[in-house]
Chains A and B, each alone.
Chain A
């Protein structure tokens, strides 16, 4: 339970500042501090058992199928990091109370900070590697929010995005590494993985895994060449820098190196990748730090350098080096956090961080200056301070390794060079800021900070001194247990004494101190040399890179997707040609051996007419009216084909749909140009012709292949059961209203919806009403020719009669509700054509959308009625009744269903055609009318 609370309390703590938002700033700070303080207390309560080597474990099932169980694991390493996170976190909370101004939203800051703390604790306490990743990414997110806290500053936004991009990318690599790791080890539990070091290192995927893993660690820990995000993250408020960029987040990568040390280290590859990266980073960071004029910039590069140092230590594949690494983690956290906070104080109280302007601050803030001097000295590795101890160990370790064979001496040499730089920039930090003449152009007079703002710095500096003097007493146990965890129990002999006698490491330290002082004294030449080099503005480069990436993406995307439907269609059809054509090519023979029906002259004539008129439609497609007439012939021939090949129902439907379509197209042509301009380039026409021919050839061949193959189908069932089970002799109709009635229900729904959609399309459409036809003739004078009007009125009853006839016979003979509905609708449309909208509206004022709804409802309810009899939806019913005089009659539920179809069709057709017709009248569809 204990370990859980260490994580849970800060998590709950994210809410505290939000809840206290209305309270005073101090209360907010104290309230926020309460949760981590309590967590710290719990952590301290476990000291005994952790130091004794116990591993506290807690586990809950979460996603067993992914191998992701919530596991908390507190060992020495986790203890060390938790301690750093919580303790320094508390100091930061206190510090931030004074650092943040009135304009800054304190609840937001504290909430983000607590979120970050939770994430960090999550990483170090996790006992499951997927869970580690979960918290790992959470640190990226929360640090993004913290870096961009002053979002109105452009460099804050950019810095945050840069950090997120780099660490996010690294996080993805880490995920891949973890998945590989889990897969190799057969478990995602940390404990299992740490035991499988040998297995993992022998696996063929180990190199890939390691590279991915290190990419994750190095990006987070700002190792070269990913280091550049860290200086740019300095746009964040200083408490953030002090916390994230010195003590915690940048250490997350280091933490992982330490955490997986037993499983991954010890190989040649590990050494090469880790130690060389660390060494490079150590040098690059130290060198660049010297030339930064920004206080925080200098600290940032120094952090990079120290992180490189720690990385190098872990890369040396030596147990003692690992111990030194752990030790330096502690020391770096203390002195760097205090330095950042002190820098923040200077910034806060003097209004600047530019060391070219900050001079002689000793006279204004002696206490702060003293504190900073001590911390800087610790950073430089001055004896009696904690930094000296770990640096000493570091030097010793660089001397112990023989990894580069005969060239192994390079490592201690370069380490010393880095140390010289380290001393030089530390010296600059002190001298340039606190002495070196008078301040230049500061906006306010610097002064000491409030009492409690300095307190965190004081505490940390005190620790630097105390650890420096009595290391074994103060951090002996901590280091011991942490190092033991890193080394999986194989702790080497080592001593934390201040004095190891005169030895090579001490000499290296001395050289570093002396060299550093000398270098600082001679800094002028170095600075001149550096300023002669071309400056590298990483932020701008990154921004430019991102812009180029975006622009490149845009260009590529627009090149692929140029917004032209013709291209989309061509691609769709090409896909068709390839996918449908390939199997055809693989086929042995197209024909399937089924005997063909002989061709007769009449059918040949029909086919010829069909082909000619289809061809004519294409040829004349730009003369739209002519094309329409030609395609009517095609439609007519198709209907005749249906009749010829024993499908009277199809012919009827095709014919009735045909007429409605022609009316529709005629209506539409009024609002569209009558001619299509010639626009396609010849090459495009050729391409289209080719594509169309290929599609045609494939479809025709497929059809031929099917028709000439023998066949067995479920249709025999329909023929056998139409009369006995469906009560009708027209099998097609019985299929429609009974066997597959659900299709029909969907089909009339489509029709109804289309009608609604069309009404919607016509609502409030801007009318464009041509005053003359395509040739420029004004329209004819007579709106409603007399003969047509009279005849249309006489045809109506006839058509109604025919449609009733067609309706009722449908079940047993060709016909049915759909065709009947279209006949009725056409008869009414004929009235619209011959008499106009006003005339019809005066005699019949129906909202057709309601007719559609009623029709659908009838069909729907017919289906539902079968539930009353405990039957599935749409179960049909029919029976024969013997009536006196009339004889036998059949009643069937199919009739009711067909009635629904009929009403829907009438409603939908009229809604479509009449709405379109009404566009030029005072009854135009508007939205209000419908409301």
Chain B
């Protein structure tokens, strides 16, 4: 299981702030996780189409190749705009 978090405009578009997910076979990186989520269709296709979406694994910014494994906390969000 991993913990998934969505923030800001992405959270609103998906209509869900968080979920627990059993990692399917073959999903072991941020990139493969994105493809898995995009395959849900509808508003989830943003995971395939957005070029600006950012990811963090265990609260550290992570690229597409970053490994994802059981127990991890994975977050997706738009570019940050604080300050």
Task: Tell whether A pairs with B.
Answer: no
Q: Which residues of A are at the interface with B, using a C-beta cutoff of 8 A? A: none
